[in-house]
Amino acid sequence: MNSRRTFLGSLLSGTLGLLTGKSASARAEGTPSSPALPVCHEADICVLGGSATGVFAAVRAARLGARVAIVERANGFGGVAVNSLVNVWHPLFDTQFERKIIGGLTEETVARLQKRNAVDIYDKNRSVWAGFNSSELKIELDELVVESKIRPFLHTLFSEPYYESGNLTGVIVDGKSGRRIIKARVFIDATGDGDLCVRMGFGSRLPAHPQPPTMCAHLDGFDLTRCNNLLAEHAKEYNIPQGFLWGLDIPGTHSFMFAGTRVYNAACAEADDLTAAEIEGRRQVRAVMDMYRRYADNAGTARFGLTALPSALGIRESRHIDCLYRVTDDDALYGKRLPDAIANCSYTFDLHHDTETGHAITFRSLDGVEERYGAPGAPPEIGRWRPETAENPTFYQIPFRSIVPKGSRNVLLAGRMFDAEETAFSGMRVMVNMNQLGEAAGVGAYLALDKDISVDQIDAADVRKTLAAGGSVII
């Protein structure tokens, strides 16, 4: 597998060199690329990737006065929350529900959705705070972008960085109008896979054991408990991998968001693996449905059926970019206070294992409890990952340093490619936490612009102060 990927990487690098007339290394060193292409827009800050994370980065920067452009390859904003149908945002409170630790645009957006009965709030539930209608969120993010006077580029794919005099001054994008250049002074990579950072030559790594992706689906007439029991008996018959079933009702509808598939051995930052994973995920959805139709008691009478598939696989993990600081497992598991913290988290550490090793998922809580799940329908194995203590941390933090790529002058990142060790990442990766990274990147980009400094010179204290002034919870 590794040799195949090395070969594919070499082939891709050579092909890009032929297409541009320049090698990847030359481009990384700052050689001007495709100077004949038209410049279609100039901004202060350009955000690549229109997930909620990317949108929140753009909105925070725009509200501070920056001229912002945002580039998204899909037909709308929302990323995993919309395109992958994952309609859950986790709690904004500490593990004891005594202290609010998350605010900002996550809280504001949910309040906006409540006006249209497009969200359900779950009180004191460690797994979910808000269950939302993904389609309504898609429209709400449109409104946030338009209200903030952000220049949107939809159906637009980031292709490569654009350099002038050795400096990154733009990005080359592909869309219906052909190849064009968007110029800016500061850039935020919110692509999920660190595409800008990697193509600029910044250090990155693929995890040894990436968490497998999931293909979600919207189903009518579906009972999750019944399906869980059926999988315990019939999963092998339908070639359904061991996993962990979960899901949530979709507000304002009679449909259920089902998330029970998992695609093993998928390196989703690579095109061939991503293609295969998308197809395998859909096969698994159909396999679950076929099993349910055949064996569920209500399948013959209830209006059971598939009402929607996502436009993108739900990717948990792909690349990580080497940043000024790598969040350690101990930082997270023991709730270490970090002086440059820009995000607070309380979600349980949620390790989806990358192979069928007898356990599909392991949950680790800040109180030291560990739960290991194997086959659907089977009870978990409960133990401890550390001895019991009199007091336990109730939240953990992500520092600003973990979104500043090493060697970067005018690029910040926001999203799942931030720098963290395996267990720390497993809890930090969820959307309410990535939303906070987006807001911090937007504020950081504005401060770099306003003070005319490189991103590695940004004072985290200024970021924290500005975030707090904009409604974020800073501890």
- Per-residue pLDDT, 302: 67
Kindly report the average pLDDT of the chain as a whole number. Answer: 91
Q: Is 153 exposed, middle or buried (0-12, 13-18, 19+ CB in 10 A)?
A: buried
* φ/ψ (deg, to 5) at 55: -60, -45
d(CA 240, CA 222): 18
Other residues' Cβ atoms within 10 Å of the Cβ of residue 279 = 13
Q: 104-114 and 431-451 helices cross at what angle (nearest 10)?
A: 120
Residue with tokens 């988290």: 345
Q: Virtual CA dihedral for 17, 20, 25, 27, nearest 10 degrees?
A: -170
pLDDT category of residue 379 using cuts at 50, 70 and 90: confident
Look at residue 20 and tell me whether its pLDDT is greater than 90.
no
Cβ pair 430, 349 in contact under 8 A: no
User: pLDDT-derived band of residue 16, with 50, 70 and 90 as boundaries?
Assistant: very low
CA distance linking residue 319 with residue 337, whole number of Å? 26
pLDDT for residue 81: 98
Angle (nearest 5°) at CA 276 between 78 and 173:
45
Instruction: Decide if pLDDT at 150 tops 60.
Output: yes
333-338 CB contacts, 8 Å cutoff, 24+ apart: 333/364, 333/366, 333/385, 333/386, 333/396, 333/423, 333/424, 334/393, 334/396, 335/366, 335/392, 335/393, 335/394, 335/395, 335/396, 335/397, 336/396, 336/397, 337/397, 337/475, 338/397, 338/398, 338/399
Q: Classify 420 as helix, strand or coil.
A: strand
Indicate if the pLDDT at residue 301 is higher than 80. Answer: no
Judge whether 60 and 446 are in contact, CB under 8 Å.
yes
Mean pLDDT of 23-47: 71
**SS3 for 180?**
strand
Distances (CA, A) of 362 to 209, 358, 396: 14, 11, 18
Residues 6+ apart with CB under 8 A from 358: 374
Q: Who contacts 322 (Cβ-Cβ below 8 Å, separation ≥6)?
A: 202, 203, 204, 205, 405, 406, 419
Give the global pTM.
0.91
- Alpha-carbon span 96 to 387, nearest angstrom: 20
DSSP character for 177? T
3-state helix, strand, coil in the chain (%, to 5): 35, 25, 45
Query: For the chain, how big is the Rg over CA atoms in Å?
Result: 22
Q: How far is CA 28 from the centre of its chain?
A: 26
Q: Is the pLDDT of residue 6 over 70?
A: no
* pLDDT tens per residue, range 160-203: 999 999 999 999 999 999 999 999 999 999 999 999 999 999 99
The predicted pLDDT at position 298 comes to 64
Q: How many CB atoms lie within 10 A of CB 359?
A: 16
Helix (H) or strand (E) holding 361: strand 361-364
* Residue 238: DSSP 8-state: G
Q: How sure is the predictor about 421, in pLDDT bands with cuts at 50, 70 and 90?
A: very high
**405-442 in b/e burial notation, b at 16+ Cβ within 10 A?**
beebebbbbbbbbbbbbbbbbbbbbbbbbbbbbbbbbb
